[in-house]
Structure 1
Amino acid sequence: MLTPQSKIKSLKFMIISTFDDLRAELAATDGLMFLAPVAEDVYRAHGALSQSEIKVVAEKSPAHLRHQRRTLRAPSEAMKLGTAAHKMILEPDDFDSCYAFAPECHKRSKDEKAVWEAAKAEAKASKKKLITKEDHAAATAMRDSIFSNERVGSLLRGGVAERACFGNLLGLHGKALLDYYHPNDHAIVDLKSTKSASLKQFERDVRTYRYHWQAAWYTDLVKSITGKAPTFQIVAVENVEPYCAAIFEIKFDLLAIARWEIQQTVDLIKRCMDTGVWPGYPTEVNQLGAYKSEWEAYKRSMQESA
């Protein structure tokens, strides 16, 4: 069993930038890795199971997971802003080496399209991503909002950012990419960008995007590597004005439900791996009816008009 402190010391090496290097490191440690600085594309290319892949099966089907693993998914505009904000907030010293300003054009005319394609080619050659001035301003405002609040900002200072973990969980080789980790406290902090960081809305977001699954998967995977469960907190920052931020912690009861649901889904994934059959949606007829609130309103209306 690896202790957090000993493994941190053993991973003070250059970033793992190739898949072959990652495979070699994992082979030398029986598939276990804690807080490794792994390039994002290399991390995502590794076949260990992630919490986001488990969600795909639960929300859609095993067939969707198989398809996702075979294809490259283009990031949405919201994802691009979230990624840029992560880099600016968590790894500010690396931001300028990773991003270049996109040209200010609408890509409507032939000349504008040519300018845009030239900028894309230049950015690709220098291994950078393009960012619009609007997204840069929003990411900057999100960063300033977080660090202007001492309590929120302290959660994203004094630790290490964007570190990969690999271990064995629920009978499969799993992985997690920690946004931020505090070695002294054995604490994970996850950064989320959102339209609203209010308690009422973010509580819905936790269930909609299954953030409780992520919390359970990350803490259990780290525990399987280190022998000790870390704490897990979320810093949610709004990606629209006034860019307010808030701190959330998922309670034990919701984590217990997440673990039970994850177990059911992982069992399905293992059956698919064993049989080679990755089914899509169920074939029986799906019944679509009114929501309870709609039906109650309809009945009241009928009674009143009778």
Structure 2
Amino acid sequence: MNTNFIIHEPAGEYHARSRKGEFMSSHLLADFRESPALYNKEVKGEIEQKDTPAFVLGRAAHSLILEGRTAFDRDFVVTDGPVNPRTGEPYGAKTKAYADWLASQEREVVSGKDYDFILKLQRSVHLHAAASELLASGEAEGVVRAEYCGVPCQIRMDWFSPESGLVDLKTCDSLKWFEADCRRYGYIFQLAFYRAVIRVVTGVTVPIHIIAVEKNEPFATGVWQLTGDVLDTAERINEAALERYKKCLYTGIWPTGYEEIRLIDSL
């Protein structure tokens, strides 16, 4: 399988095209499954999209682990910011001096402490035999666009290779509970959506793996392969949601899902 179907573009450009409703993404589809009204408000720009320090840290970790130091340095700078001349210490992150300095930066800022944390994640992933093998060859942060179920869709893959298929990188508090995290955070639906879009373009049903690394000591890494059965089930639910989405587009009605009276009949 060649990979000429993969597009490489800045993350901001990719996300902007989803936010304005040009393409359905796995995140937006998850919001639609929860509430069509929520989806509609998002694409109309009625819900503020906040970029938190945790999001920056996550992007930085993905960049260093999957793309390497050169790509990381292109998009991020490691620094604790300007130093207060009176104390000899960096200004606090909530001070005006720090905020003014941060606004002038062309790259996203990662503190020294956060960079050390990311290095621990990177070492753990690269020292895990199965994870290292999955990431031995391939492309990071590739975009694929296709019409799926009659809806323009797009995905941004953490890692793809013709040999290993799709590999997604996640962080977690504990590997012990990661399988529950997969269900709680909708990872199975996300990756079923990715698999389906790839199939539309290539005609191939690729294998799906998740690499999960703990955010706490001992920073252990684990690898999971998602079975075809569980992905097929999630795919059917995604496709039913896309059919409801097309109906909402046609009617202009975006329900919350709570229009009817519900019963509470058990303790």
Report the TM range for the smaller structure's normalisation.
0.7 to 0.9
Determine the structure 2 residue equivalent to 1:38.
9
TM-superposed CA distance for 1:250, in Å, is 1.3
Residues 43-71 of structure 1 show CA distances to partners (whole Å, capped at 9, x for unaligned) of 11221111111110122x11111122233
Higher helix share: 1
Q: Summarize the Cα distance change of 1:70–1:102 in structure 2 as closer, same or farther, 3 Å threshold.
A: farther
TM-superposed CA distance for 1:39, in Å, is 1.1
Aligned match for 2:147, one of 150, 159, 168? 168
Determine the structure 1 residue equivalent to 2:111.
132
Aligned match for 1:95, one of 72, 83, 89? 72
Residues 222-275 of structure 1 show CA distances to partners (whole Å, capped at 9, x for unaligned) of 111011111111101112222111001112221122012112211111111111
> Superposition pairs for residues 40-189 of structure 1, below 5 Å?
40-46=11-17, 47-59=22-34, 61-71=35-45, 72-92=48-68, 93-100=70-77, 101-103=79-81, 104-107=90-93, 113-123=95-105, 126=106, 128-183=107-162, 185=163, 187-189=165-167
> Superposition pairs for residues 210-289 of structure 1, below 5 Å?
210-288=186-264
Q: Summarize the Cα distance change of 1:288–1:82 in structure 2 as closer, same or farther, 3 Å threshold.
A: farther
* Normalised TM-score (structure 1): 0.76
Quick one: distance in 1 between partners of 2:42 and 2:80?
Answer: 29
Determine the structure 1 residue equivalent to 2:86.
none
TM-superposed CA distance for 1:286, in Å, is 4.0
**Structure 1: runs of 5+ lacking an equivalent:** 9-33, 296-306
SS of the residue corresponding to residue 138 of structure 1 reads: helix
Quick one: distance in 1 between partners of 2:28 and 2:150?
Answer: 16
Residues 184-233 of structure 1 show CA distances to partners (whole Å, capped at 9, x for unaligned) of x16111111111122xx111111111111122111111111011111111
**Structure 2: runs of 5+ lacking an equivalent:** 82-89
Say if 1:57 and 1:265, in contact at 8 Å, map to a contact too: yes
Deviation larger for 266-275 or 114-123: 114-123
Quick one: distance in 2 between partners of 1:89 and 1:194?
Answer: 15
Larger Cα-atom Rg? 1
TM-superposed CA distance for 1:80, in Å, is 2.6
TM-superposed CA distance for 1:79, in Å, is 2.6
2:166 is aligned with what amino acid?
A: I
1:279 is aligned with what amino acid?
A: P
Say if 1:138 and 1:240, in contact at 8 Å, map to a contact too: no
Say if 2:93 and 2:99, in contact at 8 Å, map to a contact too: no
Say if 2:67 and 2:140, in contact at 8 Å, map to a contact too: yes
TM-superposed CA distance for 1:141, in Å, is 0.6
SS of the residue corresponding to residue 203 of structure 1 reads: helix
TM-superposed CA distance for 1:153, in Å, is 1.6
TM-superposed CA distance for 1:107, in Å, is 4.3
Q: Summarize the Cα distance change of 1:280–1:157 in structure 2 as closer, same or farther, 3 Å threshold.
A: same
Q: CA RMSD in A?
A: 1.9
Quick one: distance in 1 between partners of 2:145 and 2:119?
Answer: 32
Quick one: distance in 1 between partners of 2:57 and 2:171?
Answer: 9
SS of the residue corresponding to residue 229 of structure 1 reads: coil
Quick one: distance in 1 between partners of 2:184 and 2:255?
Answer: 23
SS of the residue corresponding to residue 188 of structure 1 reads: strand
Q: Summarize the Cα distance change of 1:145–1:289 in structure 2 as closer, same or farther, 3 Å threshold.
A: farther
Q: Summarize the Cα distance change of 1:102–1:266 in structure 2 as closer, same or farther, 3 Å threshold.
A: farther
